[in-house]
Amino acid sequence: MSEEHTYETRNGSSWVLPAVIVLGLVAIGGLGFGWNASSKLDATQQAVTAQVKTVQQSVEQDVSSLKDRIAQDEKTNSDLQGDLKVVTDKLKITQGQLRKARQETAKLSDEATQKISALDTSVHTELATKAGTDDVKNVDTKVTAVSSDLNTTKEDLKMAKSEMGTLIARNHDEIDQLRRLGERDYVEFSIAGRNKPQKVGNVTVELKGVNQKKNQVSFAMVVEDKRFEKKNRALNEPIFFYTSGTRLPEEIVINKVGKDQISGYVSIPKANAQPASASTTSGK
């Protein structure tokens, strides 16, 4: 009996050692697998963190760039609004001046019409009361003279006015009409060729360029040893300037352009011949 029990005990303990070894190997394998998985997880986490940081930096740069663009757009918008306000204000002033000029022209035209009507009535009355041939001839002469003056006044009303209130002559005939008014002296000139200074009245004029399609001219003018450049000025656009000891401005007008050729006039107020307290020199 004792030998059988000993045999069974040996047989029963013979499989324990291999089981323990197997379990140990499994445990070691599990630890290795776990360590490998942990290492991969750490590496993945670091990679994800680096990518998130890169994306975050990129987003921050884009946001900063967007803010700069928005600020620049706001500044541009503000500048445009300022420019628009300036243009709008100038347009209002120009429209106001044009409206005033039209009102003055309409008023002068009405006065001229009233004068003609009154003259016609007076002439008919005088003809009806005077039967003498000589009287009729005298009346006809008066009618012709007054009609000529009124026609001159009508032609004057057709001329454009500058912002200073002066009439702008577009040709030689209109310059003669302005001379008859007796308020200013007019010096006409013609310049052929560029860079050829020419003395006109008390100013020297030098042609720089002509744009015939746009009716624009560029020239230089010297007033009392001071030189002024005038670029891309329109036809019949008055340019005002002052000389020492005068109160009223002189003006230069270019009323005809050709190929490297211009014609115009310098207008000098007769009042400038009188002593003046103010003394300024400028070019407009």
pLDDT tens-digit profile of 238-278? 999 988 888 889 999 999 999 989 999 999 998 776 544 43
**279 shares a domain with 259:** yes
**43 shares a domain with 154:** yes
Q: What is the mean pLDDT of each run of 10 residues along the chain (284 residues)?
A: 51 69 79 76 80 80 81 81 74 70 68 68 64 54 57 56 76 90 91 91 92 92 91 90 88 91 92 50 43
Model pLDDT, residue 127: 59
d(CA 83, CA 92): 14
Domain closes at, from 103, 125, 158: 158
d(CA 1, CA 227): 144
**154 shares a domain with 29:** yes
DSSP letters, 78-101, are: HHHHHHHHHHHHHHHHHHHHHHHH
**186 shares a domain with 146:** no
**198 shares a domain with 136:** no
pTM greater than 0.85 (yes/no):
no
**174 shares a domain with 143:** no
**124 shares a domain with 45:** yes
Range of the domain at 83: 25-158
Model pLDDT, residue 272: 72
Domain closes at, from 98, 124, 158: 158
**221 shares a domain with 121:** no
Model pLDDT, residue 210: 92
**116 shares a domain with 236:** no
d(CA 172, CA 186): 10
**125 shares a domain with 87:** yes
Whether residue 139 is contained in a domain is answered as: yes
